[in-house]
Structure 1
Amino acid sequence: MTNSSIPVSLPTGPILALALEDDILHARGIPYASAPRFTPPQPISERWTSERDCTAPAPICPQLPSRLESVMGGPLTAGHEQSEESCLNLSVTAPRDTQPNKNRPVLVWFHGGAYISGAGDLACYQPLELARQGIVCVTVSYRLGVFGYLGFEGIAPRNLGLLDQREALRWIQSNIAAFGGDPRNVTVTGQSAGADAIICLMAAEGSGVKDLFSRAILLSPPLREIKERAVQRTAELLSTKAEEFLTKDPREMSVAELLELQKKLLMNPVRKQVMLFAPAPGEDPLPAVEDFDRRIADAVADVPILIGWTAHDGRPFSGMMDPLAGLYSLPLLGSVLESVQTWYVTRSYFAWPSRAFHDSARKVGGRSTTYEFSWSGSGSGLGSCHCVDIPFVLGARGAWAGAPMMRGSGTEGDVERLGGEIRGLWVGFMRGDWVEREHLRFV
């Protein structure tokens, strides 16, 4: 049996989606908004009448190679057109029976990549196994780097990528029932920058969190950075440095020239942070940093949370952030230095702030469970590094085959065993029939 294509009628217009051979529907690159360069996203206002082909790989935001290819493999974006004009799109993977009002739980995935790389439609994020369990899954692409998070006075606001994500959630509210999804039962899920974005959406003015999603799963959010970005004025300093490199109006620069500007900024960072490009507190739609905790508390009181980290989340970043990284190649001493830095980055950026977030949610009467993911590939040498938990939940067959973090004997069996356990937890969480626990550990 081969894949075929079938029509789906959306409120925004008819589309042609892939009907996969195992009764899964996959609609790729559905536009949820439009936006000329450096402008806020505008919802699709007019219904298209001609059938839109949503069977091919979706366009992605222009970007440089991922700095995490050393653990994830890649390039994972191969086969996708990079298009500034067409990257505000999402993909839906769902049970093939898409009769409206099936009221299936909806999962929304916001990818990581430090707000500078990645896309929702990548094969490594395809949620096939979750769709097989009756979940309607949406993976979102949004503007990155200089296109979404670098402000220019009088030209570009700073949080365009965050506004894109909010607009995608609004599109889901209006359109997901056409795929059998329940807009009243939406779980947002994100890893790293994607998890950071979800927390920012909780704090955002005018988001109406409870009108957009009802639960959140947060994988390795670098929570320490949200307040640091405000205290250290990272966004303002980044804009100032960018202006030093400009030779013409950024509105007139080519995509290649803007990416070269981004490369220069990353090579000469204003701060040693996990994420240099990111949502800026105090800039629309985010409140000032002193109001963050209050707005988060209001949100988590009614939004159940599953939040966690990997045992060695800091491994890929230890060399990027340690002034002693040049000594890592030394016998004995190098491995000790790297281990200490990995421990410190893991704890200070991921584990400790996640526990604090969990405690604050429970303090206001919210429901929250933490977890630690400790599995590691026997042949990777990377431990339980950042991103290693994703293949246990997401990914088309073979999508993670070249990932260095997954090397080792027995990996395929471990993914099947542990992946089934984690997906079972997620599905129960999304359906509201999970048992809240203080802490979980996946090994």
Structure 2
Amino acid sequence: MAKMMQIHDKQIKVCAFNQSYAAFQIPYAQNEGRLQYSSLLKWEDLDTVIDCSMRGRVFPQNPNRLSTVMGCRQEEKNQSEAAFHLNIFSSKQFKNKPVLFWIHGGGWLTGGGALPWYDGNHLAENEDIVVVTINYRIGALGAFQTEEGPKNLGLNDIINALTWVHNNIYYFGGDSDNITVGGQSAGAWYTAALLGHVDAHHLFNKAILASFPGQIKPLTALSSQQLSTQLQNYLAPKTMATATTQEILDAQNQVMTHLSHHQPSRIPTSFIPIESEQLSKDLIDQAVKVSGGNKDVMAWVTQNEMNAFKPHGNIADELDKMRVEEFEQPTKALLQQFEDKGSDVHFQIIDGGNDRLGAPHCFDLPLLFGNFEQWSNAPMLEGTKDQKLKAASRQLQQHVAQFMRA
């Protein structure tokens, strides 16, 4: 239900729930054009009257590669190159509440905070916190080697969104001195990058790493250049500047098809962020160097992570070994180094699920957000018991909120 709310000096139409509201598609940055860094918007840049009652678009992307576990949403097709938006879920009590700033996953190629899978109204209501979800540029439009050098556009978008939240979240009842940055999969990877970012680590206080793929390193300049050249070849005679959005996505698919035969990682990647002055090739070491002892870290992996990537043709022991190598080992390595520096760390393995898939990659998302109504066609939840899932969800939500408040 749409409702007008006075938020500071703005009249904002929000989507009202039982004990909370959602302010959808709040613009956090100005679109400066394709392959250009976005520029941060200030509160005073927003219109005096804003309609934030309807879900917004996501950045351009091809179909989700993990639909075999997550299912599909019609909203995934609602795309724009100007989707520089964030979404805020908060209870109707205006006070200094802990803030969860959530970075979606999707292998650097898909996803968006505007998708219903990330609706945070239940989590905000249950734990009396503020939940923020964001869009950031993905794929070749989010990380590309240009003539000017590497452009980590998606990372820049995330930092702009986090800066906006740090500067303005108190208008929505949030405490800017108690912001937890969390993310799942590629979002966890970006969270680790923020822990080590000398210009962004001061914007938040704690971190949550969910299914952190810590074996994946930023692309070298050479690898990025080769990837970008390959994409340009598929686009020829057009270029990244002149091609349509769909032509870029089609060329990106061709690159992915080529990479699938030459991929060293068992987790498909392509246009991931590029090594730069702000992004070290040693992601974990840099995170520890900048934030170790200063920020507490919570992390988890799911029991059957690899079932999402290799659902058939691998025996259980082999899949479990892959899970440990790809997710658990790098996560524990980061946590151990943070603990050695004096940070409080927390780790758990999330289990459950159905007989076929168990608890695969992404199984934790409906548990964290508690929005099971948005996962009605997810194969990973088929045949599961509602009460058991809801109990596991409440437990995870409580653990997260306790960590945020500690």
TM-score normalised by L of structure 2: 0.92
- Structure 2 distance, partners of 1:290, 1:346, is 21
- The one of 367, 375, 392 equivalent to 1:418 is 392
Q: Deviations over 1:195-214 (max 9, x none)?
A: 0001011222422x1x2110
Task: Name the residue aligned to 1:263.
Answer: 253
Give the 5 Å matches for 1:110-259: 110-132=103-125, 133-154=127-148, 157-207=150-200, 209=201, 211-226=202-217, 229-230=219-220, 234-247=223-236, 248-259=238-249
Task: Name the residue aligned to 1:64.
Answer: 62
Q: Does 1:40 align with 2:37?
A: yes
Counterpart secondary structure, 1:40:
coil
Q: Deviations over 1:68-116 (max 9, x none)?
A: 00000113634x621102x110000000233xxx111101111110011
Task: Name the residue aligned to 1:406.
Answer: 381
Corresponding pairs, count? 398
The answer for unaligned runs of 5 or more in structure 2 is: none
Task: Name the residue aligned to 1:84.
Answer: 81
Residue type of the alignment partner of 1:181:
G
Q: Deviations over 1:364-399 (max 9, x none)?
A: 122111111121224xx0122101111112153511
Residue type of the alignment partner of 2:253:
K
Are residues 291 and 114 of structure 1, via their aligned partners in 2, closer, same or farther at CA, if it must alter by over 3 Å?
A: closer
Task: Name the residue aligned to 2:360.
Answer: 385
Misfit runs of 4+, over 6 Å? none
- Structure 1 distance, partners of 2:277, 2:59, is 22
Contact residue 197 and residue 279 of structure 1 kept, 8 A: no
Task: Name the residue aligned to 1:344.
Answer: 321
Contact residue 28 and residue 161 of structure 2 kept, 8 A: yes
Are residues 258 and 27 of structure 1, via their aligned partners in 2, closer, same or farther at CA, if it must alter by over 3 Å?
A: same
Shift of 1:239: 1.7
Are residues 254 and 197 of structure 1, via their aligned partners in 2, closer, same or farther at CA, if it must alter by over 3 Å?
A: same
Q: Does 1:278 align with 2:286?
A: no
Task: Name the residue aligned to 1:315.
Answer: 307
Counterpart secondary structure, 2:146:
coil
Contact residue 159 and residue 284 of structure 1 kept, 8 A: no
Contact residue 315 and residue 385 of structure 1 kept, 8 A: yes
Contact residue 60 and residue 141 of structure 1 kept, 8 A: yes
Are residues 19 and 293 of structure 1, via their aligned partners in 2, closer, same or farther at CA, if it must alter by over 3 Å?
A: same
Are residues 26 and 344 of structure 1, via their aligned partners in 2, closer, same or farther at CA, if it must alter by over 3 Å?
A: same
Shift of 1:246: 3.0
- Structure 2 distance, partners of 1:75, 1:81, is 10
Are residues 312 and 290 of structure 1, via their aligned partners in 2, closer, same or farther at CA, if it must alter by over 3 Å?
A: closer
Task: Name the residue aligned to 1:356.
Answer: 333
Contact residue 184 and residue 214 of structure 1 kept, 8 A: yes
Q: Does 1:31 align with 2:14?
A: no
Residue type of the alignment partner of 1:15:
I
Counterpart secondary structure, 2:45:
coil
Contact residue 200 and residue 279 of structure 1 kept, 8 A: no
- Structure 2 distance, partners of 1:402, 1:290, is 38
Contact residue 6 and residue 19 of structure 1 kept, 8 A: no
Counterpart secondary structure, 1:264:
helix
Are residues 290 and 388 of structure 1, via their aligned partners in 2, closer, same or farther at CA, if it must alter by over 3 Å?
A: closer
Task: Name the residue aligned to 1:75.
Answer: 73
Identity %: 28
- Aligned-residue Cα RMSD (Å) equals 2.1
- The one of 427, 430, 436 equivalent to 2:401 is 427
- Structure 2 distance, partners of 1:89, 1:291, is 27
Residue type of the alignment partner of 1:316:
A
Shift of 1:339: 2.9
Counterpart secondary structure, 2:369:
coil
Task: Name the residue aligned to 1:438.
Answer: none
- Structure 2 distance, partners of 1:33, 1:268, is 34
Contact residue 10 and residue 175 of structure 1 kept, 8 A: no
Q: Indicate the larger mover: 56-65 or 289-298.
A: 289-298
Shift of 1:238: 1.5
